[in-house]
Structure formats: C-alpha cells, structure tokens
Structure 1
Amino acid sequence: MPTNNGATPTTLHSNPVFNEDRWVIQIRKTLDDEDQEDETGIPVSIFNVPKILMLSKPEAYIPQQVAIGPYHHWRPELYEMERYKLSAARRTQKQLQRVKFQQVVDNFVKHEHRIRSYYHRYLDFNGETLAWMMAVDASFLLEFLQIFTLKEGKFISGGSSRMSHLIEYAGRRSAQNAILRDILMLENQIPLFLLRMILELQSSFSEECDETISMILASFIKELSPFKMMENFPHIQVMDHSHLLELLYHLLIQKSEEHHEIHENEDQGETAEATEKEYANLSHFQQLLNTIWGMGSSLKVRPVHYVKRAITSRPVKLVVKLPWTMISKIPGLSLLKQPVDYFFNMDKDNHKSDGDTTNENSNRPPLIEEITIPSVSELFNAGVKFAPTKGDISTVAFDEKTVTFHLPAVSLDVNTEGILRNLVAFEASAVCGPLVFTRYTELMNGIIDTEEDVQLLRKKGIVMNCLKTDAEVADLWNGMSKSLRLTKVPFLDKVIEDVNRYYSRRWKVKLRKFMKSYVFGSWQFLTFLAAILLLLLTTLEAFCSVYSCSRWFNAKTIQ
C-alpha cells in the first residue's frame, strides 16, 4: 500500500524487477556454507509496522530525514543525508586503531547471517552490500548518539564539533527532532552489536569499550524517554538488547511484573460486606424510603419536620410493611420496579461481577467495555486524588484507603508521540505475552478526554507538557486508540476495576446514571413521577383518615 513520499512498506530498492540469478546464488551460498554460524537462537526483533497501525498515522512510522538500516535505505527522498553518513564514516576511519575502514566492513561480512537474523523481512541483496550499508549507517548513528551527555541529559546543540556539519545542515531544532524521531522508529533500526564492534576497533581495551557504549546509550535513552524516572540508571549490557527501540522498551517495562497490590483493612472489609448483605435483604421500597429518610433527616426546615411526622405515622408504617414484591406486579405500579431495581442493585451487580466471576474472567480475552474508565475530571469530581510516581509503568496503582490514583510522571514534547507509537508497534510485533505498554496507552486514552483532564494532571505533576497547549496533549493520547489485539495485564486491569468500582459506588454517580437512564430522554420518567405522586397522595389520604388534617393544620397555624 502506498505511503507518504511515494514509499511502500514492501519496497526494498528503487528497482522493482526481481533478480532471479542473484536470488539463486544467495540461496546456494547459504546452503553450501558449512562454516556458517548458527544464529537460530537470535529472535527476530526488527519488523515492518503492522498495517492497522501504519494506516492511522504513517508519518509516525516512516523516517522523514534519515534512513538507518535496509528497510528505507533506497528511498530517493532520504538520499540527501547520504553524504553526511559518508562524512561520519571518514571520521570513523581516522579514529580506527591501525586498521582501515575496510576492516570494519570485513568484520560485518563475517556476521552477515547474524545481521540478517534480526530482520523479519527478507533482505534481497548480497552480503557485501549489506555490510557496507551497515558500516556506514552504524558510523553515522554512533557519532550522532555521542552528542548526548550524561551530565544533565541535555541535547548540546553546539557541544560536539564532530557533529557541526549536521547541525549546520539541520539549521533548526525541528530538523534535529525529526532525526531523533527517525532513529527510534521500528523500521529504522540496526543491531546494537555493530556499534560495539566499531568501538572495539577504535579502543585498545574491551572494558573501556563497554563503558563507552553504555554511557552513550544511557545518555540517549534518558534524553528521549518520556518517563523521567531513572535516577539510578541501570548499566546497559549492549549484547542483551537488539536495537535502540528494544532497549528503551525493556527499560520501561522491566519492573512491570513486580506490582505491589494495595490490601484493604480486613475488619473494615467484613463490616462493609455485612452492611451490604443486610441492606440487600430489604425490599426495594424500604430501601427507597430509608434512603430518602437518611437524606432528609439532616434537614431542619419546618415542612420537612411535618413530613417526618407523617412518615412515622401508623398508616405509613402499614404501607411500608406491605408485600411490595407482589404489589409491584400490579399494572401502573409495575413501572416502579425497573428504575428502583436499577438504582439499588447497581452496587450488588458490580460486587457480583467483581467477585463471583473473577476466576471465569481471568483466562478469557478482555472485552472492549472493560477498557472503559471515567475521565480525570469525572474522577476528580467524585473525590479521587491524583499523585505522580517516580517510577515506570509498574507504579500505576489505585489506593482505595486514601482514594488516590498513582500514575508515573510523563514528559510530552514533539518527539513523544512518535516514540510512544513505535513502542506500541514493537510490542505488538515482538512481545508474545501481555501487551503492557499498549494497555497503559489505553488507560491514558481512557482517562484523558479533554484539555481539562490534561490540565488537572499537569497541576498534579503527572503530565509535564512541553507542547503548545493542553488540547494537543489530549489529542495525542486520544489518537493512540489503534491496537492489534486486546490483552489482559493483571495489575493494570485491577487498577481499572478498582477505580470503576469506587466510582460506581458514589451516590452522585449513581444518581447521575439513574437520571441519565430513566429521566433524560426517557418517557418512563413521567410515569415514574406519576406513580410516586399517586403513592404520596395515597399515603396522605390514609393519614387524614386517621387524623383530622384540617384540625391539625389549624392548630399549628394558631400556635
């Protein structure tokens, strides 16, 4: 399918004619090479972006400035950067210890099959071409990464004379950001062990080489990572990670399985459960009267005092004791049953779905409805507090005791959306288990609907907005709704369930849902009002049949 700039995801070079002779030679060479190293243990880690994600926003996945690796190497619109790559290769050659740049290429040729094993797509060119491509791209990438320092994790626009040619070419920060985004795209990756091989030829000591590459990568990841949580940045073992994007992914997800659940007080839980059971045993009409009584008891207004005396009278007590389960089946009064059942069974249904079906739901794929969660504004109005954490995604939690929603602090700038989207694409392509990062983006997409939601998170220190407006941040999260498959992530799903359960139990929320379902846009509301009015008039008539209402009101007036 055509993408922007006339490129196609399946095009390796500008010549569309398949070279059959070269293909046969390549296959014969591969089968006859008995000395070929066995690379079957290396998992594929560099993929094409899935089409469903590519269609949502192609420019987030297709490099716009520079091609790194074979997938986009032959695109003519990116060829302007080739002369800067060659300049980097010449400077690399000057720094080599007693060898020529040809030695770098020869070493890469020896690892041809290992290099190919990282790529999901078949690379339709010979080994020497692949080695030269990788040597030039690795030289450029290594030099570009070295402009990041560990001192403050800042981009030093004039701090490296080695990159002055590129800075002059870029001319402005926006072009530099475009290159940074390109470097972290899934289809624009090369194996990290190639960078280390170049450093080995530049350095006399292997230990010094490991320290240098670790420092370079740590500086780059700290600068580009949306989560500013790495106070004690782990030492990067280059050989443990395939490429830059995979390195960033595993640094963000490394602690996700070590989620610490928040346990409720057992005594409070048992008391609440007993109260719920006792409350559920009452008839719906008794529950309705109890609720109204509880809300009105605190009022000291004189008319309320009269109503309270009327409700506690003997006729009304007789009405309450009637078998309302049977009476609700009478035409007219039966209309009361549905809204009252809805209003008072909401908690019980939620509790049942949370408790009785836990084992049943644990092994089945999640439904779309299970991703639904109230927005930040709705949660804030319901009494939920928000607090930032200095950690990765595993620190997402909801504390029911303090009613606090804990979320990791995330910094958003012009590079963030591309990074987040490519992390999701990598996870969808390379990770077999739960899609933790994808589920996190779905959570943020769920709680952020408008710029008001972003503003609340920004004031709490959870969102650090480096974009122009809060509306842009809201659009960023809301635009990341595409996912290849639904997944269950236990600790995040538990947070979503806990938040939804707390929110649905709030009286304001229940009243709002009740009004929305049975009042606004519903003809049943008028019937419900008529039935309630009829009930009140019947109660008043029964009261006046026992007491002389006119004499009682006249006596109050004389006083």
Structure 2
Amino acid sequence: MENDRKAIEKAENLSKHVAVDINSAWLNSMNAKLAASNPNPSTKDPTTIFRVPPIIRQADASNAYDPQIISIGPFHMSNKQLQSMEEHKWRYLNNLLSRSPYSKLKVCLMEIKAMEAQARSCYSESINVGSDEFVQMMVIDGCFIIELFLKQEEAIGVDPIHRTAWMLPIIARDMLLLENQLPLFILQRLFELTVESSQSSLIDLAFDFYRHLFQIYDGMQQSMGSIHHLLHLFHLHLLPSPPPDDLHPNGYSRLYSMPSAGPPPPRLIPSATDLQRAGVRFKRNSKVSSFLDVKFSKGVMEIPLLSIYEYTDHLFRNFMAFEQCHPIAGDHFTTYTILMNCLINTSADVDLLNQNKIIEHRLGSNDEVARLINEMTNGVAFDHENGYLPGLFKEVRGYSEEAWHAWRASMVRNYFSSPWAFISLIAGLFAFILTTTMSIFGIYSHFHPHQL
C-alpha cells in the first residue's frame, strides 16, 4: 500500500510539470482500448479458426490453403470464383429441411442467431458482414455439410455432386482447410434441429464420409465440447495415444516444455539411406492406432504405413498450419513431417522406405514424393528440443554416429546379404587361412630344415 501511494504521488508531481492539456475524448478512447486489450486471464481464448499466416502461405506453391470449389464460413464467402456452388447449397438446404414435414428454417435462424456472438469469436479476424448475412451463411453452409454427409450414408446416386467423379473429392478436400471451417457447435446444433431420427451421430457421419481420404481408427475419446471444427476432429483422431502425464488439461499434448538439464538433443538426423549405411534398420509397425506412432529401439526404427495420395500435401499443410496458429494444439504433424523430411532427401530414400512397406503412394514417381515431403515444411517453425519425439531424434543420431554400428552394417550388407556373398566370404577366409599356414610352414622350414 505504501508503494502504491508513493507511485500515485510521483505521477501527480510529474503531471504538474506538463503544460499541455489532454483531450478527454482522446483519453477515454485510449482507456477503452486498454480495457479491451486486457481481457480476464481466466477466460479461455475462443479463437480456433485462423487465417494462415503469410510466412506459411508464401512458402506454399500448391495453393494448399485456398478452396478450389466451395466456400465454407466467412473467410472466402466473397470469392467470386466459388459462387457457382451457392446454387447447390440452397438445393441442399431445401433437401435437408424437406426431410421433415415441419418447416425448421425459422427455428434454425433463431437458434444460430442466439449463438452468433460465440460463433464470431471463433474466427481470428473480425467478420465485416451484417448479423443477418452472417447467420444466413452459417445456416446455409452448415446445412450443406450435414446434407452432404447424409447423402453419402444413403448412397444416393442421382445427386449431381455425388455422381460427378471429380467434384466430390475436391469438396471433401475444401471442407478440411483451416480457413474453410465452421464451429462444430454450430454444425451440431443444426444437426439436432434438422435430423429428427438418426442412428449415426454427426461425428460418425463425418468419419464415414472421409474414409476414402485417410484411415479411420476405432475409438474417439474426445467429447463434442472439446472439438472445435472438422479439421480439428480429424487432427485429434489421428494423434497417437500419449501417456497420461503428457496431456494438457484440455486434452492437447504439450507443444513446449521446460528444457531438461544437460546438452540439448541433436536437431536433425541423417537420411534413410545414410542411416541404413550407419546400421539403422527400418521396419513397418502395424500394431498402432496412428501412423504418427514412430518408435526407435536398439537400432530399429519402426514406422507405420504412410499412404500418400493427391491431397495428402493439402491435409498435412493445414494440420500443421492449425498447430502453428493454435497455442496448445500440439505439434504432432509438424514433428512427424520434419522427421519424414529428414529421412527423405532423394528418390533413393523413398525407394528404401517403400521396400520396407513404410510408404505407399499414387504419385508419378519417387522423385515427386521426395519433392513433396521436402517442400511441405517450408515456412514452418519447429522446436527441435521438445515436441512429441524429442528422444527419438537424439537416440537415432547417437546410434548412427557410433562407428561400430556402421562397420557391422557394412559387413552384413557386403557378406551376409545373400548365400553367394556368404559363400564367397567363407572361401576368402579359407584361402586366407591356407595361404597364411603355408607361409608359416615355409618360413619355419627355412630356419629349421631338419625338423620337418
């Protein structure tokens, strides 16, 4: 209290020496901005849908963050190139509302109107559209997604979107972009208002819809309240199961932690072919719940199968962008992609992992796979000393630097890789022993001719 009183007196004494007047309106405006910039620290930051930062976007030449055919949410709603899908959105809204004999449009608008402030707060930028336009966009886009999921479950073949081979995969890809998201609580509320009787939940419908894009694992432990949007749903679903003490209280894995004592772990590891020459063996790990579950023990790196398709690049980039933007989203996809970037430098590395059934792809060549992996982490910040695989980087680097492992690997590769190589080794040893024995007898007989 005494310190506070002295600080106030000091401020008052300083103000006496100021000869200019302060405009009260200006002062009030600055005080208002100060108050707005200092929210209650106990209040959870609701921002979960972000614009991709320019440093990440500029490093991408594949336009992995921009929708190609459909806008979902406010960030791209004014893009004229995406307006052709608006007709389909209205048609899907009509189809969804027609599933019940009772009109629910007014109820949907009223419910989402009541959630407008909460929905706006989920976006990283202020949405400069009116209230009615914002609510209408939420209802139309949300109902489109729900009806799209339902039609997939019903296998309706007459729908223009589902019967057009090229359109549905692009829409599915666009709906998993970070900038193309709706808050999941909006989708869930619209689902409850429009789907009266369904044996499948909204999450089940989403999993069924995206089974063609990546592997869906059994079990989903996160509750609806902890999932922010569709991209986050699959981000959580694809994470490996961490130990209980590695969980953040809200369910995320820690991104940063206090560094441990001692020297920091090595930052990078050699490529797959270099590691093989250093004695490291690669093995496909099939008994896992996530392809991110990489292990290293006693010179063996166990890596689950990674399937690389046309949209793997876009999916991984948006997962990483979400991790880069959300303060507690973890770093699993970022770390995994950095690891694969270390392992893969050339097509020879891809071929090695392919021979061990760790990578499969539908791209044109192994060179394209190597180029895709190498470019995927451009502009991405990464903490090498932490993350979910800090021990693996250190152990692999330490193992590969021991000369004994490299010598043993060279012996196995050169002399034990095939029966003929082993036979040639035995023949060489026999010849060496025979030659040595004959030399010894020759020298001995020279110095002791009468004893032989």
TM-score (norm 1): 0.59
CA distance in 2, matches of 1:383, 1:430: 35
What is the deviation of 1:128? 1.1
The one-letter code sitting in structure 1 at the alignment partner of 2:156 is S
Which residue of 1 is the match for residue 156 of structure 2? 160
The one-letter code sitting in structure 2 at the alignment partner of 1:375 is S
Identity of aligned residues (%): 25
The one-letter code sitting in structure 1 at the alignment partner of 2:194 is Q
Choose which of 234, 241, 252 in structure 2 pairs with 1:255: 241
Alpha carbons 1:377, 1:452 under 8 Å: kept: yes
Which residue of 2 is the match for residue 447 of structure 1? 343
The one-letter code sitting in structure 2 at the alignment partner of 1:44 is T
Alpha carbons 1:375, 1:449 under 8 Å: kept: yes
Alpha carbons 1:167, 1:176 under 8 Å: kept: yes
The one-letter code sitting in structure 2 at the alignment partner of 1:399 is S
Say which SS state the counterpart of residue 249 (structure 1) adopts. Answer: helix
Instruction: State yes or no: 1:391 paired with 2:289.
Output: yes
Say which SS state the counterpart of residue 385 (structure 1) adopts. Answer: strand
Which residue of 2 is the match for residue 80 of structure 1? 84
Say which SS state the counterpart of residue 391 (structure 1) adopts. Answer: coil
Which residue of 1 is the match for residue 393 of structure 2? 496
Q: How does 1:74-473 map to 2 (within 5 A)?
A: 74-96=78-100, 98-149=102-153, 159-161=155-157, 164-167=159-162, 171-173=164-166, 175-204=167-196, 208=198, 211-225=200-214, 228=215, 230=217, 232-234=218-220, 237-253=223-239, 255-257=241-243, 359-361=261-263, 370-381=266-277, 382-389=279-286, 390-392=288-290, 395-400=293-298, 403-432=299-328, 435-473=331-369
Which residue of 2 is the match for residue 340 of structure 1? none
Alpha carbons 2:69, 2:170 under 8 Å: kept: yes
Which residue of 1 is the match for residue 52 of structure 2? 49
Unaligned runs of 5+ in 1: 1-26, 32-38, 150-155, 261-356, 512-551
CA distance in 1, matches of 2:66, 2:196: 38
Say which SS state the counterpart of residue 166 (structure 1) adopts. Answer: helix
CA offset digits 1:23-82 (Å, max 9, x no partner)? xxxx9xxx9xxxxxxx95462100000111100126100111110000000010111111
Alpha carbons 1:97, 1:201 under 8 Å: kept: no
CA distance in 1, matches of 2:122, 2:57: 21
Instruction: State yes or no: 1:65 paired with 2:69.
Output: yes
Alpha carbons 2:323, 2:329 under 8 Å: kept: no
The one-letter code sitting in structure 1 at the alignment partner of 2:290 is D
Alpha carbons 1:435, 1:489 under 8 Å: kept: no
CA distance in 2, matches of 1:67, 1:144: 14
CA distance in 2, matches of 1:452, 1:182: 33
- Return closer, same or farther for 1:505/1:468 CA change in 2, 3 Å cut-off: same
Which residue of 1 is the match for residue 8 of structure 2? none
What is the deviation of 1:257? 4.3
CA distance in 2, matches of 1:439, 1:373: 13
- Return closer, same or farther for 1:259/1:374 CA change in 2, 3 Å cut-off: farther
Larger Rg: 1
Unaligned runs of 5+ in 2: 1-31, 37-41, 247-258, 409-442
What is the deviation of 1:83? 0.7
- Return closer, same or farther for 1:407/1:258 CA change in 2, 3 Å cut-off: farther
Say which SS state the counterpart of residue 212 (structure 2) adopts. Answer: helix
- Return closer, same or farther for 1:259/1:449 CA change in 2, 3 Å cut-off: farther
Higher helix share: 1
TM-score (norm 2): 0.72
- Return closer, same or farther for 1:167/1:214 CA change in 2, 3 Å cut-off: closer
Which residue of 2 is the match for residue 318 of structure 1? none
Q: Give aligned pairs, total.
A: 362
State the superposition RMSD in angstroms.
3.3
Say which SS state the counterpart of residue 395 (structure 1) adopts. Answer: coil
Alpha carbons 2:323, 2:330 under 8 Å: kept: no
CA distance in 2, matches of 1:502, 1:485: 23
What is the deviation of 1:380? 2.3
What is the deviation of 1:434? 5.1
Say which SS state the counterpart of residue 464 (structure 1) adopts. Answer: strand
CA distance in 2, matches of 1:398, 1:105: 53
